[in-house]
Amino acid sequence: MPTSKPEREYDLSLHGTRLAVVEWGPTDATPLLFIHGWLDNAGSFASLAPLLAGDYRCIALDMPGHGLSEHLPGTVNYQFLDGVQTLFEACEALRLAPVNLVGHSMGGALSMLYAGAFPDKVRRLVSIEAFGPLTRNAEDTASSFAYAVMEHVRRRESKKNVFPDIDTALKARASVDKLPAELWRPIVERNLEPVEGGFSWRSDARLRLPSLLRMTHEQAGSFFEAVTAPVLLLKANHGLPLVAEALAIHGPQMDTLEVRELDGGHHIHLEQPETIARFIRGFVPLDN
């Protein structure tokens, strides 16, 4: 699948953390802010964004600990909900209000929470293979919290894998999601750093640790009910079952939701960037 390198790359400093940003398209065009999934990075949109860059200013972030962005200090845990603050501060720094959001997986979940918490700051939301955050039953909170604490202690000093070359790393990443290795190249190359003996993942290993707390279904529901922006959910028929489960619970709570099901897997935007671009064009109007 053809990709193009970003036209602009720069950093933002947000609450003491350096965040890497890439852009395609004219700086005065209608902005789209792209938020990637867990353990991915801005390279996730290297095929999709160029297809939209003729009419849109496509801005993609590396979330903290991902890609070329800075890792959090060693004493600070990564918590999913902190991503909403990252979005808030990024939008403020980039002067994107109201913003058009395009999020995949974790990025889509964070975007939905942002749209519910700050409904006046979101113009449109395209969520790819995500419908809100992972939730749990209220009665499971104590046991899940205890498990997360023990995992944080047990896996504090996890050892990183070392790959002899980039192609080996590509094959390792592709084996997880069963997609052709070349589709992963922009993500993988952005997430590799040279080490003794080859290459290792640049992303912070602590991202793999479970969040200490997750929302209950009821807590998440208050965010869905607060969303006022039009939302387009692009769901894959061979994607994550959790998306359909969340849609069944929270879909009825939204008045602004449009759902489209596509043939593909969880990384449908890597498989079918042209189709995703067509949906985005039809959903996000251009500024006058």
Dist. CA 62–CA 18, nearest whole Å: 10
Name 243's Cβ contacts closer than 8 Å, sequence gap at least 6: 129, 130, 131, 233, 235
Is pLDDT at 121 greater than 60 in this prediction?
yes
Q: What pLDDT is attached to residue 155?
A: 76
Q: What pLDDT is attached to residue 177?
A: 81
> Per residue in 143-196, pLDDT tens?
999 999 999 888 776 678 899 999 999 999 998 888 899 999 999 999 999 999
Is pLDDT at 198 greater than 60 in this prediction?
yes
Is pLDDT at 288 greater than 80 in this prediction?
no
Does the domain at 8-136+216-283 match CATH 3.40.630.30? Answer given as no
Residues 106-115 have a mean pLDDT of 98
Average pLDDT, the chain: 94
| Contact between residue 104 and residue 110 where contact means Cβ atoms under 8 Å apart | no
Is pLDDT at 20 greater than 70 in this prediction?
yes
Q: Could you tell me the pTM of the whole model?
A: 0.95
Dist. CA 123–CA 121, nearest whole Å: 7
Q: Where are the domains of the chain?
A: 8-136+216-283
Is pLDDT at 45 greater than 90 in this prediction?
yes
Per-residue pLDDT band for 15 (boundaries 50, 70, 90) equals confident
> Per residue in 57-107, pLDDT tens?
999 999 999 999 999 998 788 999 999 999 999 999 999 999 999 999 999
* Token code pair at residue 7: 């036209």
